[in-house]
Structures are given as C-alpha cells and as structure tokens.
Structure 1
C-alpha cells in the first residue's frame, strides 16, 4: 500500500537498522542518542505507562483513503492513502487526575525558535484545553545544542499573539530559557518530563 503526504511526496519506510553491540547501544541511550524528539517522548511514555505513572499517547495521524481494491468480498485492500494534517496537538493523556495535552517541536537553529513551526489550530486547541484547566505545554528540542525545554502554553500564547501585532516571528533562546523549564535527558525515562508537569501543577496552587 502506498502512503503519500499532502504535498504528493511518497512516504518511505525506514530500513531496519543494523543490530548494535551492547557497548554501542549503551552509548546511544545516553546523551542525545541520535533520536528524534518524537521517539524520545514515545519511549518516555512507554516507561510511564509500564510503571503506572501516567497514561499518555501520541495521537494517530489522520489518513485519507483514496484507493481500495476488493480482491475478495470479505476483504478490502487499501492501495493508496494520504496523511492528512492533524487538527490538534501531538500528545494527550492523564496523569494523577490531571488532563495532559502538549505539542512537540524540534529545531536545528541555535539561537531562536521560529513561531511558524506552530499552526493556528494547535494554538486554538491548547487554548481550549487551558480553559478546561488542562495541563498544556510544548516540548522544544534544540537539536544542535542537545537541550530540551517545556514551555507552558500560556507563555507560548504571549509570543504567538505578539507576532500578530508586528512582534517578533521567533522566540529567542534566552526568552525560552526564562519562560520554560529545562529537561535533562536520562536513561529511564528518556525524557523525565513528568517532573516538570509536577512543577506546573504546583505553580497553579500558588
């Protein structure tokens, strides 16, 4: 079955990686690990679920089916489909009675983070969840710097709204440092972001 992105590009499945030795595996598991942010979060979520800490999942990407074959009456085979743009954020779930909703973004830039990486529908969704007292934020990864930050959604709204009134189109790294919590990667979980969620919860009680 062929999958295509909205711009027409074909989706290519990654080839199965070569098996690593134990020493190589340990080397990758620490530091940056060469992973994409999504993989690091997914690993962390698996750890949290496995230890009954939180139940958080990545939302599935909507798929539009455009071609189906019916080789048998009882069986349909999808021949072609397209990934559709997601209408909300990347992740949601529940932790200790709190609804959690967040977006994950990474950048290769070193001194700023372009606001164009976000979409209006994502901001609208985060605002709606905030109104229901959800714990909402974005996880930002600076790939080249190997640094990770959690910015509360309310802080992001300030920059998003500012750009619409002739403000900067990017958030400077210094601003992210001031308005976010930095995450230090670990072994288990890979990204211990629940520690930051605890801080967000406590800040609401102040």
Structure 2
C-alpha cells in the first residue's frame, strides 16, 4: 500500500510501555536526539502505565484514494494520504481536567516562528479554553535542547499581536519568562504534568486565565 505523508512526515511509532521507557540504569542522555513527539509519547505512556493521566496523540485523518475489493468480505487499501489534522496533537484528562496541547520544534536559537501554528489550531485551543480546558503548546528549541510549556493564553497574546502587525515570532526570552521549562528526567522523559499542576493551582486560586 502506498501512503503519502504531509510535509514529508512519517507516522508515529508504536511503543511498548515495559520495553521502551528508560530504566533507572539508563543514562538520562541515552535518548538525546529524539523528536519532541517521541519524548512526549514516552512520557504519556509512563503517565498511563502509572495511572497518573490518560493523554494520547490524536490519530491523523486518512483520505483513501484507491481501494480494491478482491473479496466481497474484504477490502485492500492500495493508496491513501495522511491529511493535515484539523485540531491539535494531543488531548486527554488529568485530575478531572481536560488537557489539550500541540507540540512544535524549531531550529531557531533566539525565537519561535508563529507560522508553525495554523489558524485552525489557535481557534481550536480558544474554544477549549472557553470551555474550561487547560491548553498549552510544547515548544522545543532543538539546537539548544530546551523544551518549554507555553500556556495557551500567552500564545494567543502573541498570535493576536502578529495579526495586528506585530512580531511574527516569540522571543526565547519571552518564552522563558512566561512559560515553564521542562527539564529532562529518566521517567517520565518530560515531566510536564508538574507544570500543569501549577496551572491547576493558579486556576483554583482564581488567577487562572485559560493557561
């Protein structure tokens, strides 16, 4: 079967929780060079295996192009295309809160280009925030090996400024100030729920603004 991937991307690999998560005997640097998606997937599997949270990557929609029917009871897909997802990369539930986020990488060292997001993704996160969901963006500066969790409302601020003629990127220094740096560990690889805990605490104190 021929499958065409958007922008040269490939489908997410599957992992076995017991086999693929790092063990305490592995170096914390053993999996350097992994994509942000892989790091998040490993972390989510750890959270799931330990009954901490249920967060999954959303499946990419597929458009079928050619299907053969060698038998009445069976169909064989000969050609298909992965379409661009209509929302964000991940969603799930944690401590009774709906979680929704996207993951982006950049090779830039000083700023994150806003063109990496699409208007429909921003609109989707706005709708989720309006319903009380916790939304954010994972941003990885690959050349610096730095990962940040940026609350959605911060992203909205810079997105709206861009639309009004402002900067078309977010400076790294601004992300460092407004976001949460997620430092690598063994298990989970990216302990990002600690940052989510801070967001939930702020929400309960009444200072939460959709972050």
- Give the TM-score normalised by the residue count of structure 1: 0.89
Matches within 5 A, 1:1-206: 1-6=1-6, 26-27=26-27, 29-30=28-29, 33-206=32-205
Report deviation, 1:12.
Answer: 9.2
Give runs of ≥4 in structure 1 deviating > 2 Å: 9-14, 29-32
What is the aligned-residue RMSD (CA, Å)? Answer: 2.1
Distance 2:39 2:191 in 1: 10
Secondary structure of the structure 1 residue equivalent to 2:98 = strand
For 1:19, the equivalent position in structure 2 comes to none
Report deviation, 1:31.
Answer: 6.7
Which runs of no fewer than 5 residues in structure 2 stay unpaired? 14-21, 206-211
- Give the TM-score normalised by the residue count of structure 2: 0.87
1:84-116 deviations in Å (ceiling 9; x for gaps):
111000000000100000000011110000000
Secondary structure of the structure 1 residue equivalent to 2:26 = helix
Which runs of no fewer than 5 residues in structure 1 stay unpaired? 15-21
Distance 1:133 1:12 in 2: 31
**Aligned in 2, Cα 1:188/1:116: closer, same or farther, shift over 3 Å?**
same
**Aligned in 2, Cα 1:195/1:11: closer, same or farther, shift over 3 Å?**
closer
Equivalent residues, number? 195
1:1-52 deviations in Å (ceiling 9; x for gaps):
1011357x696999xxxxxxx9xx934x527621000000000000000000
**Aligned in 2, Cα 1:194/1:65: closer, same or farther, shift over 3 Å?**
same
